[in-house]
Amino acid sequence: MSALERHTGTRLAGTQEAFALHRRINRTASDYPRDSSVPALFAASAARDPDAPAVVQGGRTYTYGELDRLSNGLARRLLAEGFPPGATVGVCLTRSPELIVALLAVLKCGGAYLPFDVGWPDERLHGLFADADCRWVLTDRHEQLSRRLSECQVLAVEGELEEAEAAPAVETTGDSLAYINFTSGSTGRPKGVAIRHRSIARLVLGTRFARLDAHSRLLQLAPVTFDAATFEIWGALLNGGTCVLYPEGLVRLSRLGRVVDEHRVTVVFLTTALFNAVVDEAPEAVDGTETVLMGGELHSIPHVAAALRRYGPGRLVHVYGPTEATTFATYHPVDRLLPDSGLLPIGTPIQNTRLYVIDGDTLCEPGRTGEICLAGDGLSPGYVGMPELTADRFVERLVDGVTERLYRTGDHGTLLPDGSLVFQGRDDDQVKINGFRIELGEVAHHLDHHPSVRRSHVTVSTTRGERALVAFVVTDDQSVTPTSLRHHLRTRLPAYLVPARIHLCEALPLTATGKVDGRALLAAHDSHTPPPAAPAARPVASRD
């Protein structure tokens, strides 16, 4: 049983201090058009300034008027082919203006889009399409996907697209489903997280964590299958700003800086690993931005400190949020670091979001660790085709006289007296080896505080049934050895927390979404070969 017991409708207990603190941090309600659909909000942006740039990529630009007419045309084409409003459409296009046309068109004809990657295995595609009851596909890889998804109606989004002046007469509201994002599941079966139009509006309108308006230019860097793309795309288009599409392909730091400068990007979101790489190798790449949002993994205090020295206060914002709460749930402006502390809070709730730290059926006081639970308009209605998992993760609790629908994140956190939340690890970051419970983040924390360590990743390997801690470390000092690092750890940690094997790496490989690729590291460990070097294995290549 987890920290939050599964008792539907249970009244949460707690001290006066605990209730007072949660009341204070949860005063996040602000007016926004919660009943409006994404197409209606986009239409308002287009009507205000149809000639303003909506989407740019390299030398290509779609104005709001052009994007409106092109998406109208594609939506009408979908309906003419027999698409039933309310159904799900798989979307698989390269990062391009046509991708944005396709997403908007699906919403305009009353559908929900399901972004997927052409590189996903057939078994995975068929499984998630079955879970989402998805029988329609929009793609720029028509021939290939028509063969692989023969049970679907596959429509090509290629060549010159037709325009239409009027949008289809299809009613959508804030309650309508907008998209489904599939995330990894602990059982091996991907989980389809359904998100409503209202949740997108709550994320990007009246934002506390960044200035978003008609002058904003947001960099669209994340794969569309990653929920950060929700913020990057709709944060621009629902505020009358410009969505700047990064070129298709691997993220290269030299190109990142050129795109930011050429298109005068004001807001960028970087995963923690990508943020660390930028700070290490090309801090000038984001010099021209107003706001750098970063998050997604455990932070590195040395990298945050270096960024703070370069960019100054008022520029960096640490964000946190699971897909089930629509991208971001909390934010922390990084204006200073706490002295002698390895802690970087994930902050307080964003607009129209509420946060509770719960241990058992008790609301936690400052300093007490519990499970992070989220509430508000950002919450998903649940997992498609998984009613039992939905019932387990989305629960009702009576809090301070009000029934709240909560999402149990599985993350642990502690509230500081000022209301800031500090992340304390995940349920699945806790492993058990030889009877000892081990938090992987604790080992990584002490490695990262070695003066010559730039980055580290700690995981568990299994060989012939034996589990052992393994660390992968990037250093900036060739004299550092695995032996010296183990000595460093032994002076700070009990023996069972010292990794059995420490690999020295040139770089930590990243996945397409910018997170550390633990599978690639373990594969290198198992084959007794050095992990892949930076340019070949991560979406951030060298500066050249």
Give a yes or no: residue 279 inside a domain: no
Whether residues 45 and 188 fall in one domain: yes
Look up the CATH number of the domain holding residue 94: 3.40.50.980
Instruction: Inform me whether the pLDDT recorded for 537 exceeds 50.
Output: no
Give a yes or no: residue 347 inside a domain: no
Tokens 């349920």 appear where?
A: 427
Whether residues 50 and 20 fall in one domain: no
What would the mean pLDDT of 212-222 be, rounded to a whole number? 98
Whether residues 192 and 48 fall in one domain: yes
Between 62 and 513, residue with greater pLDDT: 62
pLDDT, position 9: 66
Q: How far is it, in rounded angstroms, from Cα 512 to Cα 119? A: 11
pLDDT, position 234: 99
Instruction: Inform me whether the pLDDT recorded for 2 exceeds 50.
Output: no
Which residue among 172, 199, 226 closes a domain? Answer: 199
Give a yes or no: residue 147 inside a domain: yes
Whether residues 89 and 188 fall in one domain: yes
Whether residues 129 and 49 fall in one domain: yes
pLDDT, position 4: 47
The neighbouring-strand residues paired with 57 are 60
Give a yes or no: residue 79 inside a domain: yes
- pLDDT band per the 50, 70, 90 thresholds, residue 104: very high
Strand 134-139 relative to strand 153-156, pairing: parallel
- Are 345 and 418 in contact by the 8 Å Cβ rule? The answer is no
Whether residues 392 and 511 fall in one domain: no
Q: How far is it, in rounded angstroms, from Cα 37 to Cα 340? A: 47
Other beta carbons within 10 angstroms of residue 287's beta carbon come to 13
Instruction: Inform me whether the pLDDT recorded for 533 exceeds 50.
Output: no
Token readout for 444 is 């990584």
Q: How far is it, in rounded angstroms, from Cα 376 to Cα 528? A: 48
Give a yes or no: residue 240 inside a domain: no
What would the mean pLDDT of 128-139 be, rounded to a whole number? 96
What residues make up the domain containing 43? 38-199
pLDDT, tens digit, 9 for 90 and up, residues 482-505: 999 999 998 887 677 899 999 999
Whether residues 56 and 177 fall in one domain: yes
Which residue among 138, 166, 199 closes a domain? Answer: 199
pLDDT, position 337: 87
Give a yes or no: residue 241 inside a domain: no
Cα–Cα–Cα angle for 427, 431, 436, nearest 5°? Answer: 125
SS3 532: coil
pLDDT, tens digit, 9 for 90 and up, residues 292-337: 999 988 788 889 999 999 999 999 999 999 999 999 999 999 999 8
Residues shown for the chain: 544
Query: Is 162 exposed, middle or buried (CB count within 10 Å of its CB: 0-12, 13-18, 19+)?
Result: exposed
Whether residues 194 and 137 fall in one domain: yes
pLDDT, position 528: 63
Instruction: Inform me whether the pLDDT recorded for 439 exceeds 80.
Output: no
Which residue among 395, 426, 457 closes a domain? Answer: 426
| Domain count of the fold of the chain | 3
Close Cβ partners of 416 (under 8 Å, ≥ 6 residues apart): 345, 366, 367, 422
Give a yes or no: residue 310 inside a domain: no
Whether residues 64 and 138 fall in one domain: yes
- Are 3 and 371 in contact by the 8 Å Cβ rule? The answer is yes
Whether residues 422 and 439 fall in one domain: no
Whether residues 88 and 163 fall in one domain: yes
What would the mean pLDDT of 519-528 be, rounded to a whole number? 82
Average pLDDT over the chain, rounded to an integer:
90
Close Cβ partners of 483 (under 8 Å, ≥ 6 residues apart): none
Look up the CATH number of the domain holding residue 391: 2.30.38.10
Whether residues 364 and 503 fall in one domain: no
Distances (CA, A) of 533 to 253, 452, 530, 538: 15, 19, 8, 8
Give a yes or no: residue 302 inside a domain: no
